[in-house]
Every structure is written in structure tokens, then in C-alpha cells.
């Protein structure tokens, strides 16, 4: 009971953030439009590449569903989240949040996950319609169903890791460049732009062992017709690791913040 | 012209003032561009060629794009901030000066991070663009035309804020243009491809210039220059017309 209460309390900021996002119709329309443009361009490239023969075992249809899913998993999250968290830490805004009876990082992760899941619902809905129109039905109905919880795990793991990375601002007071580099890891090693099977063998093996694969590749692999439930387990393990990393990084940083603040 | 040069010198001095920050930002952008190159190299290594585009040609496209877009977003960085400047009332201080507002506004601020793009683009052309005097000349002229076109487009779409009050269309146009310019227009078909040569002329930003460097034809060169002039005139016209509707940034004068 005592453990369940903080978890329930975290549901409140998560739900409020989601409501706030859905209320901003203009901003949401902007996100959806941009997502549609990105998916149209990138999936168009992959369809052109796989027009004559499958690429690394992916057909043109599978690649379209792959890109619609991987882009939804990434576009759902605020693009400069690391930079914004870093700015809040550097400006001392985070010190005010220490007054709350809940962990700063837990509330922040809950809020950002709530926002991201609300946006994700809109994006993946549009992405599915787009993929149906330009490529056809998903290669496997069962695998697509597995992609839904996988997307939720992907978003939660990504938000958690971004908090862990942004905590560097407790020490160096600046995380502005970090989001740029972080995104590039997601683009290639996370499988956002391309299925990991397309990478050269050694890079493919390395990418499968890194946490970034849980953030775009796993749900996209499932949506592209590969019925591999084990991917959900891998994502769940990475989520626990990322949450622990973010909590530890913030705890260490907050101790330092108290020292700096006197 | 003298005032413009003086403003640009002052913006550059400001950008270079914090050397460590400047080089760290340039380095970040170079790493970002290198990741895109990695993507294209892996892509073409796996699929060979797609509709006439191979690794060599896509690297040329990327060299043109990073050089021209880096110049526009770095040296003329206010091209992407027109909606924000208008909504914040930041044009008041420019209108009080005895200079033409648009050119002064464009050179007033430099974003160091995008200078990394320019550096990357030039080095990429030197390494992968097989430069000789003729190709280098076409590359330089094509990059200038591409930069003029991109500036005109961003000014035109950003200036719509004078009429709509919202900057979201400008932001959307910027992101869409840069995203689509990353891909050869030949990848797309039908209406989408037609769109890339008309309403969102992303094909003229990098794809057409890259083809010109590889295989120059007078017709394609003339098409690129015409597109650049049309977009520059459009940008100037929309900004000038919009400026007539600009009253003041003072918070109490707005409803």
C-alpha cells in the first residue's frame, strides 16, 4: 500500500501533462504534420530502395511500417528534452522542485512520459493510416499488436535515459550539445532511420547490445511483421536500468546542488 | 552597404568572442553531419543505387546542402526567427535605424553552431566532390543560388506571421524544407515530386545544384537561377507588405 501510493501520485502529473498537450491543438497539429512529412520522405526512400528486392529481409511494405513506427516512437518525445532539463538544472529551477514530497526525477519522468504517450497516440494513429494508404496492411497482425506495448516501453525508456544524460548539467551546468549527439545515437544505433539488420555485421551486433535499440528498433521491428515477443522483455530490462540510472544521477546531482546552493 | 558590413563584422565579433563555446558548437554540428553521412554510406552500401542516385552523388548533395543551409542558418540566422522577432516586437529597434530593415535584420545575428555545417560542407566537397576548377566554380555558384533561394523562402514563410499572427507556419516550413532537401527529389513520385519543385522548392536547395556540379546544363542552371530570383523577390515582397501591417511590439498596443 505504502509503495503503491507514490506510484498513484505520479499518475496525476502524468495525466495532467497529457491533458495539457491535447489541449494545445495547434502544437499537436504541428507535431502530426511534421511527423507525416518525415514518414512520407523516409519511407518513400526505403520503398524506392526495396522496390525490386527486399533489403536485409524487409519488404517495401515492412519498411514502411518500420519507419512509421520508429519515427512515432521518437517524434512523440519533446525534441530538445535533454537541453530543457539541463537548462532547468543550470538555472536552479530544479531546486524549487525539491520542496515537493515526491522525487524530482520521478515527477519529471512521469510528466514527460504522460505528454509523450498522448502525442504518441495521435502520431501512431496517423502513421498507421499513412502506411495503409501508401503500402498496404501490416505484414503481421499479431506482431503489430505487440508493437503497441513495445511503443510505450520505448517512450518510457527513452525519457528515462534522457533524464540520466541531462543530469550531467549538475556538474558541467550545460547539456545543450548533448541532445544533438544523443539523437544521432538514436538515429543510427537506435534504428530510427534504418533497421539494425542493414548495419554492417559488427555494428549490428554492437547496436543490439546498446539501450538505444529499445527506443526505436524494438517496436518498429515488431510492427514490420517480426513476431518476436522477447523484444518486450529486453525493453523492460532496459527500462528498469534507465530508471535506476536516472534516479542515481539525479540523487548524486541533487546532493551537489545543495552544496552549491549553500 | 557600409552599414551592413559593419553590422556583419559586429555579429561575427560577437560569435567569436567565446572561443571555447564557438568551437564546441562547430564540433557538435560536424559530428551531427558525420552521422548523416554514416547513414547515407550505410544505405547505399546496402542498396547500391536508387533512381539514378548513388553514394557519390548523395555526398555531393549533402555538401551543397550543408554549405548553403549552414550559411543561411548561421550567418543570416534571423531568417528562421522572423516570426519570433515580429511577435516580440523586436522590429521596433530596427525600424528606428536609417537602414533598410530586412538586410540589417538578417545579418544582425550569427549562430555559431551552423558554421559547423559550412565547414563540413566545404571539406566534404574537397574530399568527396572530385573538385577541379570547373566543378568548384559550379559548386560555388550553385551554393550561392541555393542560399538565396532558401533565404527568400524562409523570409517569405516567416513573414506570414505579419498576416496570421502565428509563427507555426514559418517553423513548419523551415523544418519541412530542410528535411526534404536532404533527399533527392527523384525518390518521390507524382504530386509530391511536383511539390518539391514548386510550393516547397526543396529540390532546388540541394538536389538540382548537386546534379549541376556533376553534369552542368544551361537549362538546369537557368532553372536554378530563376528559382532563386523568384524566391528572393517573393521573400522581399511578403516581408515589405507585412511590414506595413506591423504597428508596434509594445505590449499595451496589442489587443
Over the stretch B9-29, which tens digit does the pLDDT of each residue have? 888 888 888 888 888 888 888
Please report the pLDDT score of residue A137 as a whole number: 95
Question: Which residues, 6+ apart, have CB-to-CB distance to B17 below 8 Å?
Answer: none
For residue B182, which residues of chain A lie inside 8 Å, CB to CB?
41
Considering CB atoms only, which of A34, A184, A188 is closest to B31? A184
Given a cut of 70, whether residue A261 has pLDDT beyond it is no
With an 8 Å Cβ cutoff, is B187 touching chain A?
A: yes
| Residues B42, A199: C-beta atoms closer than 8 Å | yes
Residue from A122, A73, A103 nearest A163 by CA: A103
| Residues in A 47-86 with any Cβ partner in B closer than 8 A | 48-50, 55-56
Given a cut of 60, whether residue B98 has pLDDT beyond it is yes
Residue A200 in grid coordinates: 554492417
Least confident of A90-99, A132-141, B64-73, B246-255: B246-255
For residue A198, which residues of chain B lie inside 8 Å, CB to CB?
42-43, 46
User: What is the complex's ipTM, to 2 decimals?
Assistant: 0.82
Please report the pLDDT score of residue A90 as a whole number: 84
Measured distance CA(B66)–CA(A66) in Å, rounded: 28
With an 8 Å Cβ cutoff, is A193 touching chain B?
A: yes
With an 8 Å Cβ cutoff, is B171 touching chain A?
A: yes
With an 8 Å Cβ cutoff, is B216 touching chain A?
A: no
Given a cut of 80, whether residue B239 has pLDDT beyond it is yes
Measured distance CA(B137)–CA(B155) in Å, rounded: 27
Residue B244 in grid coordinates: 506595413
| Residues in A 89-148 with any Cβ partner in B closer than 8 A | none
Decide which of A119 and A78 is more confident: A119
Please report the pLDDT score of residue B94 as a whole number: 87
| Mean per-residue pLDDT, A7-26 | 87
Please report the pLDDT score of residue B7 as a whole number: 87
CA distance, residue B81 to nearest chain A CA (Å): 17
| Residues A177, B42: C-beta atoms closer than 8 Å | no
- Residue owning grid cell 564540433: B27
Torsion sign, CA atoms A183, B60, B226, B185: negative
Given a cut of 60, whether residue B253 has pLDDT beyond it is no
Q: How many domains does chain A have?
A: 1
Please report the pLDDT score of residue A159 as a whole number: 96
Report yes or no: A241 and A154 within 8 Å, Cβ to Cβ: no
Residue A30 binned pLDDT confidence (cut-offs 50, 70, 90): confident
User: Of all residues in chain A, what percent carry a pLDDT higher than 90?
Assistant: 68
Residue A74 in grid coordinates: 521518437
DSSP letter (8 states) at residue A1: -
| Mean per-residue pLDDT, B35-49 | 91
Residue A1 binned pLDDT confidence (cut-offs 50, 70, 90): very low
Given a cut of 50, whether residue B255 has pLDDT beyond it is no
Considering CB atoms only, which of A40, A48, A181 is closest to B28? A181
Residue A4 binned pLDDT confidence (cut-offs 50, 70, 90): low
Measured distance CA(B72)–CA(B107) in Å, rounded: 10
H helices present in B132-167, as ranges: 133-158, 161-164
SS (H, E, C) A157-178: HHHHHHHHHHCCHHHHCCCCCH
Chain CA centroid to CA B255, Å? 34
Mean pLDDT across chain B: 90
| Residues A30, B171: C-beta atoms closer than 8 Å | yes
Measured distance CA(A41)–CA(A171) in Å, rounded: 40
b/e per residue B124-156 (b: at least 16 CB within 10 A): bbeebbeeeeebeebbebbbbbbbbbbbbbbbb
CA torsion angle B102 B104 B110 B114 (round to 10):
30
| Residues A37, B179: C-beta atoms closer than 8 Å | yes
| Residues A37, B188: C-beta atoms closer than 8 Å | no
| Residues B176, A188: C-beta atoms closer than 8 Å | no
Residue B233 binned pLDDT confidence (cut-offs 50, 70, 90): very high
Residue A129 binned pLDDT confidence (cut-offs 50, 70, 90): very high
What SS3 class is residue A204? helix
State which of A125-129, B164-168, B177-181, B242-246 shows the largest mean pLDDT: A125-129
Closest chain B residue to the Cα of A35, Cα to Cα: B176
Q: Which long-range contacts (CB under 8 A, 24 or more apart) does B100-106 make?
A: B101/B243, B102/B155, B102/B236, B102/B239, B102/B240, B103/B4, B104/B3, B104/B4, B104/B7, B105/B78, B106/B76, B106/B78, B106/B79, B106/B151, B106/B155
Mean pLDDT across chain A: 90
Rg (CA), chain B: 19
Question: Which residues, 6+ apart, have CB-to-CB distance to B184 below 8 Å?
Answer: B50, B51, B52, B53, B57, B58, B61, B207
| pLDDT tens digit sequence for B138-188 | 999 999 999 999 999 999 999 999 998 877 778 888 888 998 999 998 888
With an 8 Å Cβ cutoff, is A172 touching chain B?
A: no
H helices present in chain B, as ranges: 2-17, 19-47, 55-74, 82-87, 92-95, 101-107, 112-128, 133-158, 161-164, 168-181, 190-197, 207-214, 218-245
Backbone angles phi, psi at A16, to 5 degrees: -65, -40
Residue B5 binned pLDDT confidence (cut-offs 50, 70, 90): confident
- Residue owning grid cell 512529412: A37
Residue A150 in grid coordinates: 513495445
Decide which of B45 and B167 is more confident: B45
| Burial of residue B94, with CB atoms counted within 10 A of its CB: 0-12 exposed, 13-18 middle, 19 or more buried | middle
Please report the pLDDT score of residue A262 as a whole number: 45
Torsion sign, CA atoms B32, B68, B14, B77: negative
Integer CA distances (angstroms), B37 to B32, B205, B231, in order: 9, 18, 29
pTM, 2 dp: 0.86
DSSP letter (8 states) at residue B50: B
| pLDDT tens digit sequence for A36-76 | 989 998 999 999 999 888 999 999 999 999 999 999 999 99
Given a cut of 80, whether residue B60 has pLDDT beyond it is yes
Please report the pLDDT score of residue B252 as a whole number: 52
Considering CB atoms only, which of B28, B50, B176 is closest to A180? B28
With an 8 Å Cβ cutoff, is B161 touching chain A?
A: no
| Residues A55, B47: C-beta atoms closer than 8 Å | yes
Considering CB atoms only, which of A26, A40, A56 is closest to B46? A56
Measured distance CA(A130)–CA(A22) in Å, rounded: 21
DSSP letter (8 states) at residue A53: S
| pLDDT tens digit sequence for B63-95 | 999 999 999 999 999 999 999 899 888 888 888
CA distance, residue B28 to nearest chain A CA (Å): 7
Domain containing residue A129: 4-260
Considering CB atoms only, which of A30, A38, A49 is closest to B47? A49
With an 8 Å Cβ cutoff, is B29 touching chain A?
A: yes
| Residues A188, B39: C-beta atoms closer than 8 Å | yes
Given a cut of 90, whether residue A248 has pLDDT beyond it is yes
Amino acid at each position: 500500500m505504502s509503495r503503491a501510493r507514490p506510484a498513484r501520485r505520479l499518475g496525476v502529473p502524468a495525466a495532467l501533462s497529457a491533458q495539457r498537450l491535447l489541449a494545445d491543438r495547434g502544437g499537436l497539429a504541428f507535431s502530426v504534420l511534421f511527423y507525416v512529412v518525415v514518414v512520407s520522405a523516409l519511407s518513400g526512400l526505403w520503398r524506392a530502395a526495396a522496390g525490386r528486392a527486399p533489403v536485409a529481409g524487409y519488404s517495401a511494405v515492412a519498411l514502411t511500417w518500420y519507419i512509421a513506427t520508429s519515427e512515432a516512437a521518437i517524434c512523440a518525445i519533446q525534441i530538445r528534452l535533454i537541453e530543457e532539463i539541463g537548462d532547468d538544472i543550470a538555472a536552479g529551477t530544479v531546486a524549487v522542485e525539491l520542496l515537493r514530497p515526491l522525487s524530482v526525477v520521478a515527477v519529471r519522468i512521469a510528466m514527460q512520459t504522460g505528454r509523450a504517450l498522448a502525442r504518441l497516440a495521435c502520431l501512431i494513429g496517423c502513421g498507421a493510416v499513412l502506411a495503409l494508404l501508401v503500402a498496404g496492411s501490416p505484414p503481421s497482425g499479431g506482431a503489430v499488436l505487440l508493437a503497441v506495448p513495445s511503443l510505450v516501453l520505448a517512450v518510457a525508456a527513452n525519457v528515462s535515459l534522457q533524464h540520466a544524460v541531462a543530469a550531467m548539467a549538475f556538474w558541467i551546468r550545460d547539456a545543450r550539445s548533448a541532445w544533438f549527439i544523443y539523437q544521432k545515437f538514436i538515429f543510427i544505433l537506435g534504428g530510427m532511420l534504418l533497421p539494425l539488420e542493414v548495419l554492417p555485421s559488427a555494428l549490428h551486433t554492437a547496436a543490439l547490445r546498446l539501450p538505444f535499440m529499445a527506443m526505436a528498433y524494438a517496436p518498429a521491428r515488431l510492427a514490420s511483421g517480426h513476431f518476436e515477443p522477447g523484444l518486450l522483455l529486453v525493453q523492460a530490462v532496459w527500462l528498469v536500468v534507465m530508471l535506476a540510472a536516472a534516479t542515481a544521477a539525479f540523487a548524486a546531482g541533487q546532493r551537489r546542488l545543495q552544496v552549491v546552493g549553500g | 552597404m557600409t552599414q551592413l558590413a559593419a553590422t556583419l563584422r559586429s555579429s561575427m565579433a560577437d560569435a567569436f568572442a567565446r572561443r571555447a563555446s564557438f568551437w564546441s558548437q562547430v564540433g557538435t554540428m560536424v559530428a551531427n553531419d558525420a552521422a548523416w553521412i554514416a547513414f547515407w554510406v550505410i544505405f547505399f552500401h546496402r542498396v547500391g543505387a536508387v533512381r539514378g542516385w548513388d553514394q557519390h552523388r548523395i555526398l555531393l548533395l549533402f555538401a551543397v546542402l550543408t554549405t548553403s543551409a549552414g550559411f543561411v542558418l548561421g550567418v543570416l540566422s534571423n531568417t528562421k526567427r522572423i516570426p519570433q522577432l515580429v511577435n516580440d516586437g523586436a522590429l521596433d529597434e530596427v525600424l528606428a535605424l536609417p537602414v533598410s530593415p530586412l538586410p540589417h535584420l538578417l545579418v544582425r545575428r550569427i549562430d555559431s553552431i551552423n558554421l559547423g555545417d559550412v565547414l563540413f560542407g566545404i571539406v566534404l566537397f574537397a574530399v568527396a566532390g572530385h573538385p577541379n576548377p570547373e566543378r568548384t566554380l559550379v559548386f560555388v555558384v550553385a551554393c550561392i543560388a541555393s542560399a538565396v533561394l532558401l533565404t527568400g523562402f524562409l523570409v517569405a514563410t516567416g513573414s506570414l506571421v505579419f498576416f496570421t499572427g502565428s509563427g507555426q507556419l514559418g517553423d513548419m516550413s523551415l523544418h519541412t524544407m530542410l528535411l526534404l532537401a536532404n533527399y533527392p527529389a527523384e525518390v518521390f513520385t507524382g504530386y509530391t515530386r511536383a511539390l518539391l519543385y514548386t510550393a516547397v522548392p526543396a529540390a532546388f536547395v540541394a538536389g538540382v545544384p548537386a546534379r549541376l556540379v556533376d553534369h552542368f546544363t544551361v537549362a538546369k542552371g537557368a532553372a536554378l537561377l530563376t528559382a532563386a530570383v523568384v524566391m528572393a523577390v517573393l521573400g522581399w515582397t511578403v516581408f515589405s507588405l507585412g511590414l506595413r501591417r506591423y504597428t508596434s511590439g509594445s505590449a499595451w498596443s496589442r489587443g
